[in-house]
């Protein structure tokens, strides 16, 4: 049952973004030492167990949680999220946390841009203008044609596109399936996919890194648990702006732990992206009131 405690919801969202930022930092460390597919595969095994437990509790049984009226879309969603995580973790290794998250922060703008053709939602000129400004911010971060353009910068942008499509499909399937059902398919399909393609990439892992791997699994489950609690106590539109704190937390970890540098063009571009994203959230909320 959902209550309406915005202050508690905001605290849950802040905690969620911090935990996910820590998870990203651990992913960056492990993926720098081992195959990305193996790291994400092990992470998904734990995530799938967590998903099955939560979905079973919410739906009453595993059979009820798995019951869907649109299996093809649910399978595609699960495959898409699993692939997106692999792409994003690869971005952490190639670019670092600061630039990867600065570019990935554009995904809410992509969601807003695609919500019309995919979901049939109306997007007014103000939101289109904000989307345009946000993508100018992305171009400032990427700096095409101004300095030496790093092709690797496209990797987190691809991840943002994939996650935006996943988010839109999640909203689309919610018209017929429950949240528990969508959550179940997200974890189980991803685990099956990543096991199929990742098991051949198995590498021996040191004891300290197994400890980090355990921490990665725990932070993944904890982050999703906090996010579930967040949406249980507050409206999504009220807490969504605070999701951008993941960029702040992840960038801080990148700078302090991995000695990354926050360059001026990245800070300026990320500022435009965040401001545009916050405006689209505000406009969507205003439109919902009318």
Residue 14 falls inside a structural domain: yes
Q: Which pTM was predicted? A: 0.87
Residue pLDDT, tens place only, 207-247: 999 999 999 999 999 998 898 888 888 777 678 788 888 99
Residue 149 domain boundaries:
6-289
How many CA atoms within 13 Å lie on the side-chain side of 252? 10
User: What stretch of H or E contains 166?
Assistant: helix 154-173
Q: What is the pLDDT of residues 27-47, one digit of tens each?
A: 999 999 999 999 999 999 999
Task: Say what the pLDDT of residue 283 is.
Answer: 74
Q: Give 79 or 115, the one with higher predicted confidence.
A: 79
How much is the pLDDT for 290?
Answer: 63
What share of the chain in percent tops pLDDT 70? 94
Residue 24 has a pLDDT of 96
Which residues have C-beta within 8 Å of that of residue 104, sequence separation ≥ 6? 88, 91, 156, 157, 159, 160, 163, 247
Q: How many CA atoms lie within 13 A of 171 on its CB side?
A: 15
* Total domain count, the chain: 1
pLDDT confidence of 9, banded at 50, 70, 90? Answer: confident
What DSSP designation does 262 have? -
Query: What pLDDT score was predicted for residue 148?
Result: 44
pLDDT bin (cut points 50, 70, 90) of residue 111 is: confident
The full length of the chain comes to 290
Tell me the pLDDT tens digit for each residue of 251-268. Answer: 999 999 999 988 888 888
**Higher pLDDT pick, 222 / 5:** 222
| Tokens (6 digits) for 72 | 């093809």
Whole-number pLDDT of residue 198: 92
Q: Does residue 1 lie within any of the structural domains?
A: no
The pLDDT of 194-203, averaged and rounded, is 94
Cα separation, 290 vs 285, in Å, equals 9
The C-alpha atoms of residue 119 and residue 271 are separated, in whole angstroms, by 28
* Mean pLDDT to the nearest integer, 49-75: 90
Residue 59 lies in a domain: yes
Confidence of residue 184 (pLDDT cuts 50, 70, 90): very high
Answer yes or no: is pLDDT of 135 > 50: yes
Given a cut of 90, is residue 162 above it in pLDDT? yes
% of the chain at pLDDT higher than 90? 49
pLDDT at 2 over 70: no
Mean per-residue pLDDT, 191-197: 94
- Write down the mean pLDDT value for the chain: 87
The b/e string for 213-236 (b: 16+ C-beta within 10 A; e otherwise) is beebbbbbbbbbebbebbbebbee
Dist. CA 87–CA 121, nearest whole Å: 28
271 close to 43: Cβ distance less than 8 angstroms: no
Q: Let me know if residue 109 belongs to a domain.
A: yes
Please give the Cα distance from 51 to 243 (Å, whole number).
21
Mean pLDDT of 135-144: 78
């Amino acid at each position: 049952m959902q209550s309406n405690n915005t202050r508690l919801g905001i605290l849950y969202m802040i905690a969620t973004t911090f935990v996910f930022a820590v998870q990203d930092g651990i992913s960056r460390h492990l993926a720098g030492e081992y195959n990305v597919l193996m790291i994400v595969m092990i992470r998904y095994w734990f995530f799938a167990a967590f998903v099955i437990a939560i979905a079973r509790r919410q739906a009453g049984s595993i059979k009820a949680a798995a019951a869907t009226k649109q299996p093809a879309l649910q399978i595609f969603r699960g495959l898409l999220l699993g692939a997106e995580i692999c792409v994003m973790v690869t971005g952490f290794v190639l670019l670092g946390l600061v630039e990867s998250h600065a570019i990935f922060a554009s995904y809410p703008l992509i969601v807003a841009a695609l919500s019309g053709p995919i979901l049939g939602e109306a997007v007014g000129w103000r939101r289109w203008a904000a989307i345009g400004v946000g993508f100018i911010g992305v171009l400032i971060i990427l700096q095409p044609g101004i300095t030496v353009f790093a092709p690797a910068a496209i990797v987190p942008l691809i991840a943002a596109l994939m996650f935006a499509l996943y988010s839109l499909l999640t909203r689309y399937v919610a018209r017929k399936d429950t949240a528990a059902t969508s959550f179940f398919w997200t974890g189980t399909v991803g685990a099956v996919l990543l096991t199929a393609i990742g098991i051949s990439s198995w590498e021996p892992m040191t004891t300290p890194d197994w400890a980090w791997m355990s921490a990665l699994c725990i932070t993944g489950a904890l982050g999703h648990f906090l996010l579930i609690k967040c949406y249980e106590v507050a409206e999504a539109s009220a807490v969504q702006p605070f999701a951008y704190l993941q960029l702040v937390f992840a960038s801080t970890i990148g700078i302090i732990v991995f000695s990354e540098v926050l360059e001026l063009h990245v800070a300026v571009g990320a500022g435009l992206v965040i401001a545009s994203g916050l405006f689209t959230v505000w406009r969507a909320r205003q439109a919902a009131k009318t």
